[in-house]
A and B are shown apart, each in its own frame.
Chain A
């Protein structure tokens, strides 16, 4: 099946630093979604990307849908303690396939 390679697996940063994570795939996706998940909770949608090349911002978050439709990145600027959590990328391929394909997640840890 389809796989998403998400990196880095974990990040240890200082408060106020910028963060960058990305996902790549050998398959084309029609939609890229970025979620944040806190322990024991459901994934919360951060940004949705629908067109190749699209660059979208949501507050301190910026994400882009790669031109090849096989990759996406998420940047977080000026990190704050509440940014701690696991960030997942997810791709939707369409064509009758409903399920999202998730990356393995990036665990963001902020050191005071």
Chain B
């Protein structure tokens, strides 16, 4: 079965640079979520989109923004990168318009390293 696709898998940036992470949800899923996971930590919810509209917002820094496009893929844009932004970034997707809508399936993640 098709899974969530994320690109790139690894990204190295310098401080103050910008980064764009991409997420392609499971086909027919209408909702995407972004999470950040620091070393040895649990995933922390950043933001979600349902039908291309922002649905919920978690602990996303003001330097970060995201959007969902007409084909349901999503991009997380990160500006003025800081050393503390180094982490694994996961995208998850779900189908809200159906039964058991809260089941989120995660992608393989993007490892961002800020030097």
**Contacts from A to B (Cβ < 8 Å):** 30-31, 33, 35, 40-45, 48, 50, 88, 92, 94, 96-105
In the complex, what's the smallest C-beta–C-beta distance from B53 to chain A, in angstroms?
A: 12
Contact with A along B1-41 (1 / 0, CB 8 A): 00010000000000000000000000000010101000000
Give the residues in chain B near A48, CB-CB below 8 Å.
100, 103
- From 32 to 65 in chain B, residues with beta carbon under 8 angstroms from any chain A beta carbon are 33, 35, 42-45, 48, 50, 55-56, 58
B102 within 8 A of A: yes
With A88-B42, A104-B42, A105-B42 already in contact, the answer to whether A99 and B58 are too (CB < 8 A) is: yes
Complex CA–CA separation, A88 to B41 (angstroms): 11
| Beta-carbon contact of A42 and B104 below 8 Å | no
Nearest first, the 10 closest Cβ-Cβ pairs linking A and B are A99-B45, A98-B56, A102-B42, A42-B106, A98-B48, A92-B102, A31-B102, A43-B106, A42-B108, A99-B58
Give the residues in chain B near A31, CB-CB below 8 Å.
100, 102-103
Contact of A40 (CB < 8 Å), options: B33, B44, B88: B88
Complex CA–CA separation, A98 to B66 (angstroms): 15
Tell which of B42, B48, B55, B58 has the most Cβ of chain A within 10 Å.
Answer: B42
List 11 extra interface pairs beyond A33-B103, A88-B43, A92-B104, CB under 8 A: A31-B100, A42-B106, A42-B109, A43-B90, A45-B103, A45-B106, A98-B31, A98-B48, A98-B50, A98-B55, A100-B45
Complex CA–CA separation, A40 to B40 (angstroms): 11
